[in-house]
């Protein structure tokens, strides 16, 4: 990758406002590309409405929820709740990016388009869960109220570059989480719905990844530092969900999302595409960030290998029990 001289990446030159202005043309280009390839779809077409029936409450014929009413697996149920509650915080996400990127020009058009597309995800997931009786509707609503009442503040709201770097990885992480949830759900209808959502998330990732590439060309040192910070401190936006740590552990064991998936299927694809570790001509701070990023990835890979071993041993024990 050809980079500009290191001095152009100095904080005295590249403020957030200047970067927003400098990237406006790239945003417009990527927005137009996105609109050409993105396909509109109808959330109601993915919901098994014929499976639905009344819940207790105002309806005398209401039927109480029970686990056995749905074919969705336990890990699928857990992941679906986490994924939906994450989507539910869309108003807070919109506020964050609208405040950071603005509401005018190509940036503003993208912010609103992204929000509209993301809105479909929460709509179709909730309709599916209620119609198919995959989760306890009362607990789902209690979780939603608790989670949304807390609000959301991005870890990267202090910096436009950090925010762009974060969403480049986070959109791919969300895609992978949805796709793997579908695979592990035990329900082809759920799998098909989440595959549709995952397609949107992948397009969102491409938008931000290409924007991150342009940022590297403009301000390589600052962008490298932002990528290092985001990768080292990465956490999913749903981390504030009640019981998130336990749910995340169950999703890791269920191979929906774990360290190995995070390293191999989320971090590495973005970093390889942008050739982040091959960028040269960096200044001292950029080179230091690149080195620290490499060291962190090596450590993460080692931790993922340890998790792989524990997971394989657990599977072996469960298989032995089943055979005995």
290-303 pLDDT, tens digit each: 999 999 999 999 99
* Burial degree of 274 (CB within 10 A; 0-12, 13-18, 19+): buried
User: Is the distance from CB of 143 to CB of 242 less than 8 angstroms?
Assistant: yes
pLDDT value of position 7: 40
| Measured distance CA(219)–CA(51) in Å, rounded | 54
* Burial degree of 145 (CB within 10 A; 0-12, 13-18, 19+): exposed
Predicted TM-score (pTM) above 0.85: yes
| Measured distance CA(219)–CA(279) in Å, rounded | 12
8-state DSSP, 57 = T
Q: pLDDT > 70: what percent of the chain?
A: 96
Give the Cα-Cα-Cα angle 159, 154, 75 (nearest 5 degrees): 140
Lowest mean pLDDT among 188-192, 211-215, 269-273, 309-313: 309-313
The pair of three-digit structure tokens given for residue 247, joined into one six-digit string? 């749910």
pLDDT value of position 102: 87
pLDDT value of position 12: 53
Give the model confidence (pLDDT) of 26-80 as tens digits: 999 999 999 999 999 999 999 999 999 999 988 888 899 999 999 999 999 999 9
Give the model confidence (pLDDT) of 255-286 as tens digits: 999 999 999 999 999 999 999 999 999 999 99
pLDDT value of position 55: 92
pLDDT value of position 298: 96
Cα–Cα nearest to 237, from 293, 167, 159:
167
What is the CB-side half-sphere exposure of residue 99 using CA atoms within 13 A?
13
pLDDT value of position 15: 85
């Amino acid at each position: 990758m050809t980079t500009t001289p290191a001095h152009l990446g100095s904080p005295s030159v590249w403020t957030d406002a200047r970067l927003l202005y400098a990237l406006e043309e790239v945003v417009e280009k990527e927005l137009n590309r996105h609109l050409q390839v993105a396909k509109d779809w109808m959330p109601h077409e993915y919901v098994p409405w014929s499976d639905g029936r009344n819940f207790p409450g105002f309806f005398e014929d209401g039927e109480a929820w029970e686990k056995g009413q749905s074919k969705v697996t336990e890990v699928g149920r857990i992941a679906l709740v986490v994924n939906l509650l994450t989507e539910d915080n869309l108003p807070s996400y919109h506020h964050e990016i609208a405040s950071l990127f603005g509401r005018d020009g190509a940036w503003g058009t993208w912010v609103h388009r992204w929000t509209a597309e993301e809105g479909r995800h929460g709509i179709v997931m909730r309709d599916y869960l209620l119609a198919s009786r995959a989760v306890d509707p009362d607990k789902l609503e209690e979780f939603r109220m608790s989670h949304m009442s807390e609000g959301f503040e991005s870890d990267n709201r202090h910096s436009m570059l950090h925010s762009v770097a974060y969403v480049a990885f986070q959109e791919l992480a969300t895609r992978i989480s949805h796709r793997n949830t579908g695979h592990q759900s035990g329900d082809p209808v759920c799998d098909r719905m989440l595959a549709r959502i995952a397609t949107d998330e992948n397009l969102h990732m491409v938008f931000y990844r290409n924007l991150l590439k342009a940022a590297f060309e403009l301000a390589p040192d600052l962008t490298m530092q932002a990528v290092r910070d985001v990768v080292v401190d990465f956490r999913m936006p749903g981390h504030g969900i009640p019981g998130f740590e336990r749910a995340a552990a169950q999703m890791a064991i269920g191979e929906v999302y774990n360290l190995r998936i995070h390293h191999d299927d989320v971090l590495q694809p973005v970093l390889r595409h942008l050739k982040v570790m091959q960028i040269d001509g960096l200044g001292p701070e950029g080179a230091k960030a690149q080195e620290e990023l490499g060291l962190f990835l090596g450590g993460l890979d080692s931790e993922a290998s340890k998790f792989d071993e524990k997971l394989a041993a657990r599977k072996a024990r469960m298989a032995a029990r089943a055979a005995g």
